[in-house]
Structures are given as C-alpha cells and as structure tokens.
Structure 1
C-alpha cells in the first residue's frame, strides 16, 4: 500500500466520509402516495406545497398542524383548493399535499401534483 502524507490521508478520509453520507442520503425512501380514498388519521400534519410562479416549489405557510378528525385524501384536496384560492391564488399554478402521520409511526405520504388557475380570468373546464 502506498504511503501518503498525513494531511493527504486525512483529506482522503474526509472525502470518503462525505461520499458515504451522500450515498446514505440518497437511500432514503420518498413519501408514499396518498390517494383520494385513503383515510388520514387524527393527529396527522398536513402541509400545503405550491409551485410558485417566481420561486418554484415551496412549503406554504398554510397547514394543519394536528388533524382533529379523520379525513380522506379527497377531503384534504378540497381543503387545499379552498385555502389556495384565498392564499396567493394568483401566484402559483400547481400544488400537492404532504401528510405526516402522528407518533409513533411518523410515516409520510404525498398526493399527486394538481393544477390550479394561474389567473382569475382563466376558465377551468372539467
């Protein structure tokens, strides 16, 4: 095995350690899919994520910190669409919900991405 100076050996160890941390971070599982028919349990946290026209995806300041009753994915979407129309409805065009179940599981779920009107004069036909 070749002999390296101590400073180079330390730098190599640091680089290997950083690479290992990056690989571990890449191995985390993404949130599971939340369908309209899925039931969200009491105590869950629901976060509203929007695709802002100027800033890209970000977590809105609107959320449900502690869900007081069970709710389906469809009900959560209805809540989000109502909230979204009142909160910067002119600034974003897409959204999704992220749901975190309460302790002890803390499992995360995420809805699909849904579009919304970018401007009030645009008509959405279903």
Structure 2
C-alpha cells in the first residue's frame, strides 16, 4: 500500500490569497512546477498516509513563512535609527541654511541699491 502523499495546488488559486510581495518567492521555490503551473509538495516520511498529508501541508506552511521572512525586511537596529535621525537633522539644517541664503539674496536685491 502506497502511503506517499502528493499535494497539488494550482498557483492560480493560491497566489491571489498571498500578498504580492511573497509571490515571486513562491514561484521561485523548488515546489513550483512551471509546466503545470502548480505547487507540488510530496511527503513520504511516515508509513501512514494521513501523517504524510499533514507533513505536506506543514511544508506548504513553511514555504509561505520562509518566503515572508525573505521578502519582508526585519526590524531596524537602534544604530540605524539613530543614523537616519542624524541624517534627517543634517538635511533639515542644510535646507534651512539654503533658505536663509536665498532670503538674504532676495533682500539684497530689493533694498541694496538705494542709498540716498
């Protein structure tokens, strides 16, 4: 008696359920059969078919969670957050300085030529 379990899921039915960010990772996985446009997951770990079916669905779950880990960036480190804040502060100071310079230039044009 064959206890191997094969789960076939058409990509047209599973991809709409997933966020667009995960789709390329799913299509690039080793479980994707390009010719049939399906995800084919097989399991023959156990002698019981029900356990093999559960194992196949567990692999599908792992595939989706791994795709999520790869696609979604992790938390920002405190050092990176501090660096970004400093860069934003420096940019704001540079912008403010440039605005003051332009303001002084315009003011000089307005009132600088008339000394009676």
Give the TM-score category using the shorter length: under 0.3
Greater strand fraction, Structure 1 or Structure 2: 1
TM-score, normalised with respect to structure 1 = 0.24
Greater helix fraction, Structure 1 or Structure 2: 2
Which structure has the greater CA radius of gyration? Answer: 2
TM-score, normalised with respect to structure 2 = 0.25
